[in-house]
Structure 1
Amino acid sequence: MSTDSKKQLTLFSLVLMIFTSVYGFANMPRAFFLMGYAAIPWYLIGALFFFLPYAFMMAEYGAAYKQEKGGIYSWMERSVGPKYAFIGTFMWYASYLVWQVNVSSTIWVPLSNAIFGADLTHNLTYFGLKPTMWLGILAVLWIILVTFISTQGLDKIKQVTSVGGLAVMLLNVVLLLGGFIVLILNGGQFAQPILNGLHDFAVSPNPAYQSGLSTVSFLTYAIFAYGGIEAVGGLVDQTKNAEKTFPLGVTISAIVISIGYALGIFMMGTFINWQEILSLPGVNTANVTYIVMENLGVVLAGSLGANPQAALTIGMWVARLVGLSMFLALTGAFFTLIYSPLKQLIEGTPKALWPKKFSELKNNMPVYAMYVQAVIVIILILIVAFGGDNASAFFNKLVIMTNVAMTIPYMFLSAAFPFFKKKDSIQKPFEIYKSYTLALIASIIVTVVIGFANLFSIIEPGLAKGNWLDTLLSGGGPLLFALIAFLLYKNYESKQTK
């Protein structure tokens, strides 16, 4: 097949692919829970100073290295050097380990909602163990099950992803349309009233996000909400008339996604009052999506004239729909991400870096490496689950760890961009940053924005609340992974010298 005949992506299909890769439904209820309407400006800042310039960088990398199999390792290795590339790639891979810890512990919340119509995970108190400990045990069993099935080379489970993805897309329609109907039926009255104009879009109703430090640390959430665009870099050579279509597609996507997030957060105020619902003790970052959507079902049914009992039943069924959708989507993602980043790390980096058994494939899977990965994830799960704290703090800790771990590798890619631009030996068939100065400015802006967001996110629990354990977990994790990568590479260098 010729390259031209492969270039099938039109502007619409490109926008759709970027939207499905980046847009995350759960980001909106979490944002409303943490910041209320005040989350909206941060999501717009994230789009302007991170998503747009970063996506353009990924597009240029993707076009220049479309023949490379090493993914982001090849991008950084040829732009800066192998050691830098390995540390950046290892931290990127490690962020998926943290993601596995997070999702394997929180996937029981959507499952509970799907079965019972409510989050009952906080009731797990059997044999004197705390709910967080039980979630840790369930997470360990989940890792063992998914690893075992994945090593058999069964990829049929990936069909779950498309079903879950479609269901989550439908949830956006339910949220926006439902909120709009509630607003009309209630005569334009918001459940979360806007009493102080712009002040309500600047100050959070959440007591934990009142200080300047905690407010700025929310930027990490906003950046995390736009994650996943590095996958889009590989679409350049599949796009019709890429020079014009790609930058336009990315710009339209950034506008659509940021407005989608902003509108979704805004519409939540039509049917949910922060003080009445989200300030209750049982609400946390893991179950807030289901609480918000259940509340939409109750309020919508009530606004349409249903009696209180019927409204509660409808709300419970909406929570079940959300739970099933999120469970299917997360399961599909899990079966892909348990081997995909690991495979890219082993295949992309020099083989001598790893024990021989790591690169051995069985059923086209790095089986031995996957078992080692499972052991590491299980140890991390048990440390977090049995390290104390109530369920709410436990889930918040997991989210903070994931956000920081998954956004730091973006800094490696954005910081490498000026080096990439300066190397004339690299063929650049597609360029948005026409001058080196423009590329350097974009690189500095993106790197500084991610750096500051993560710095504030890491130090905020310690400085503002005296919770230095959270600071240690969110900041120490990436530092530990960077140190492991450095030592692995040092060991590889000494082997090569011998």
Structure 2
Amino acid sequence: MKKKQLFWYNIAFIAFASVWGLGNVVNNFTLEGMSVVTSWLLIAILYFIPYTLIVGQLGATFKNDESGVAAWIRELTTPKIAYLAAWTFWVVNITYLAQKPQTILIAFSWLLRGNGDFVNQVASIWVQLICLGIFLFFLWLASRGIVTLKRIGSIAGIGLIIMSLLFIILAFAAFKFSHVTVATQHMAAIKTYLPKWDLNYLTTISMLVFAVGGAEKIAPYVNKTQNAGREFPLGMIALAVLVIFSALSGSIAMGLLFNAKHIPKDLLANGAYYAFAKLDNYYHVGHLFQILYAIANALEQIAALLFSIDAPLKMLLGDHADFHYIPRKLVKRNKHDALINGYLLTGVLVSILIILPALYIGNMNELFDWLLNLNSVVLPMRFLWVFAAFILLNRQFKHYQSDFYFIKRPLLGKLIGGWCFLFTAFACLLGMIPKTSGATWWTQLELNIATPIIFVLLGVILPVIARWQNRQRVMTK
């Protein structure tokens, strides 16, 4: 792609495709029911809109950096903190990679069997062993330099966006022009949309943050944008409008299709497929919509798995790797130019996270829900660096010029950045509390607490190993 070729609407679409999906609607509807409509409005005003504008200002300030957040932190702080940021962006993907095989398996179950019952009919340990096999196969493919399936992934991603928007249109049309009964009662009553302000509700905030996060991934496109100071922030604003519209209308559409007071137990895993299956029945088209969604989702998940194995590793172990903090052996490359020892480390950690919980959580549906919830706890940890970068930028406000300013007053900028930072941390901490009350509640809580702690400890251990290896190199010279 040539430089200076993108406009605000290109940025908005690319960002929307990478940030949003029907799964975000299904997940949060499952946890909150119709009260999620109010939650979407609150999260948009208090968090998502400031978040996108913060990314807009950071992207416009560092418009010549293609590494995104890693470059921002490296520019604004010390090499040690830059390493910690790069480590965070890599390590949080471990939980993401551990769940991708589950979503791929469920997609193929719906595609080949017409339902998602397979994962619930087989013991979780056997399902997870299959998932491990899927992951190791794609890890092997990635190690041979086959990392993106870029064209297929892009087509599937566009297909998913179309299917997500089509779902909203078809759902509203079905109830507007046919005699289909609305599943959720009292849809016109305001009280239907009011949350119950208790601990259970607060624990769902992490899933909302998880859903709207990720706008910083679009930052590398800043220097490919026409008039970056204007077009890029405008694209971020358009992204916010698209996400808010999709979240609100999608949630109401879910309420039309499913009774918000009696939500199926496996809706987190199979909700999107159930939704399209219902639409297939309403429009008498066989299994058309459900099959199209399963194909697009399977292809997109495969492409995302390959990309997520490789791209975060390059951020940590690529050309900017600092050997004061990273052991040299980790940057070893094979003949396909893949960071082979980094792949091995990824494989070990993901394999543990796939198999170990299955020994304690025997119900596959519970295991899927737990791993999804763990993602909502761990992945937003990387967003903390976006807000940290914004706070640091405002501390050094006079040293950096930007074509776009979300906030021109450094004190106010630090306060807004601090609010978003604390809100994210608050959501992650409360998200550790399991959403279910089953026999494995304590096991899930222990795993939710232990996983981030282990990730942090690993990040501390690597510099110790690097220093020891550096001393050994000096002594042998």
- Using the size of structure 2 for normalisation, the TM-score is 0.90
Decide whether aligned partners of structure 1 residues 269 and 234 sit closer, same or farther in structure 2, where only a CA change above 3 A counts.
same
Give the aligned partner of residue 478 of structure 1. 452
Residue 399 in 1 paired to residue 348 in 2? no
Determine the C-alpha separation between the residues in 2 that align with 1:31 and 1:71. 28
Q: Provide the residue aligned with 1:191 in structure 2.
A: 183
Instruction: Give SS of 1:285's match.
Output: helix
Distance 1:431 1:200 in 2: 40
Match in the other structure for 1:370: 343
Name which of structure 1's ranges 325-334 and 30-39 shifts more when overlaid on structure 2. Answer: 30-39
Inter-partner Cα distance in structure 1 for 2:415 and 2:436? 32
CA deviation after TM superposition for structure 1 residue 420, in Å: 2.3
Counterpart for residue 412 of structure 1: 385
Give the Cα separation in 1 of the matches to 2:63 and 2:301. Answer: 29
Hey, what's the Cα distance between the residues in 1 that align with 2:137 and 2:333?
19
Report percent identity of matched pairs: 20
Q: Distance in 2 between matches of 1:462 and 1:195?
A: 26
Aligned match of 2:326 = 354
Q: Deviations over 1:387-441 (max 9, x none)?
A: 2231221111101111111001211331232222222685433341212022112
Q: Select which of 291, 296, 308 maps to 2:279.
A: 296
Unmatched tracts of structure 2, length 5 or more: none
Q: Is the 8 A contact 2:98 2:350 kept in 1?
A: yes
Counterpart CA distance in 2 for 1:445 and 1:55 is 14
- Cα distance change of structure 1 residues 458 and 59 upon mapping to structure 2, 3 Å threshold: same
Cα deviation 1:90-143 (Å, max 9, x = unaligned): 122111111011112332111111112111323543xxxx1x112211111112
Instruction: Assess if the C-alpha contact under 8 Å between 1:86 and 1:485 holds in 2.
Output: no
Q: 1:369 to 1:425 in 2, by over 3 A?
A: farther
How many residues align structurally? 469
| Residue identity in the other structure for 2:189 | G
Q: Structure 2: how far apart are the matches of 1:109 and 1:466? A: 23
| Alignment partner of 2:12 out of 15, 22, 41 | 15
| Contact 2:55–2:215 (8 Å) recurs in 1 | yes
- CA-to-aligned-CA distance 1:321-376 (integer Å, 9 cap, x gap): 22111111101111111111012111233034333332222322112321231122
Is 1:421 aligned to residue 418 of structure 2?
no
| 8 Å contact from structure 1 (residues 284, 396) kept in 2 | no
Compare 396-405 and 186-195 and name the one that shifted more.
186-195
Residue 135 of structure 2 corresponds to which residue in structure 1? 143
Q: CA RMSD, aligned part only?
A: 2.7
Asked if structure 2 preserves the Cα contact closer than 8 Å seen for 1:411 and 1:450, the reply is: yes
Counterpart residue number, 2:294: 323
TM-aligned CA distance change 1:195 to 1:63, over 3 Å: closer
Q: Aligned to 2:92, what secondary structure does the other structure show?
A: helix
After superposing the two structures, state which structure 1 stretch, 413-422 or 351-360, moved more: 351-360
Give the Å deviation of 1:246: 2.7
Check the 8 A contact 1:37/1:200 in 2, yes or no.
yes
- Contact 2:60/2:229 (<8 A) preserved: no
1:74-473 to 2 correspondence within 5 Å? Answer: 74-122=71-119, 124-125=121-122, 130=123, 132-155=124-147, 157-186=149-178, 190-194=182-186, 197-203=189-195, 212-274=198-260, 278-279=263-264, 281=265, 283-298=266-281, 300-301=282-283, 311=284, 314=286, 316-347=287-318, 348-362=320-334, 363-423=336-396, 427-432=400-405, 433-459=407-433, 467-473=441-447
Indicate if the aligned counterparts of 2:64 and 2:222 stay in contact, CA closer than 8 A.
Answer: no
Quote the Cα distance in structure 1 between the aligned partners of 2:357 and 2:288. Answer: 32
Distance 1:153 1:492, change over 3 A: closer
Structure 1 position 494, deviation (Å): 6.4
In structure 2, distance between residues paired with 1:446 and 1:156:
32
- Pair 1:230–1:320, CA change in 2 (3 A): same
Letter in 1 for 2:198: G
Q: CA deviation at 1:157?
A: 2.4
Q: Secondary structure at the match of 1:107?
A: helix
The change in CA–CA distance for 1:167 and 1:229 in structure 2 (over 3 A counts) is: same
CA positional deviation for 1:211: 6.6
Tell me whether 235-244 or 380-389 shows the greater mean CA deviation.
Answer: 235-244
Shift, 1:242, TM fit: 2.9
- Note if contact 1:60-1:428 (Cα within 8 Å) is conserved in structure 2: no
Of 10, 23, 28, 2:25 maps to 28
TM-score by length of 1: 0.86
* Cα distance between partner residues in 2 of 1:231 and 1:189: 41
Q: Closer, same or farther in 2 for the Cα pair 1:351/1:425, shift >3 Å?
A: farther
Distance in 2 (CA, whole Å) between partners of 1:462 and 1:268 is 21
Distance 1:452 1:422 in 2: 23
Q: What residue identity is the alignment partner of 2:443?
A: L
Q: Is the 8 A contact 2:148 2:307 kept in 1?
A: no
Distance 1:462 1:318, change over 3 A: closer
The one-letter code sitting in structure 1 at the alignment partner of 2:384 is M
Query: Which segments of 5 or more consecutive residues in structure 1 lack a partner in the other structure?
Result: 204-209, 302-310
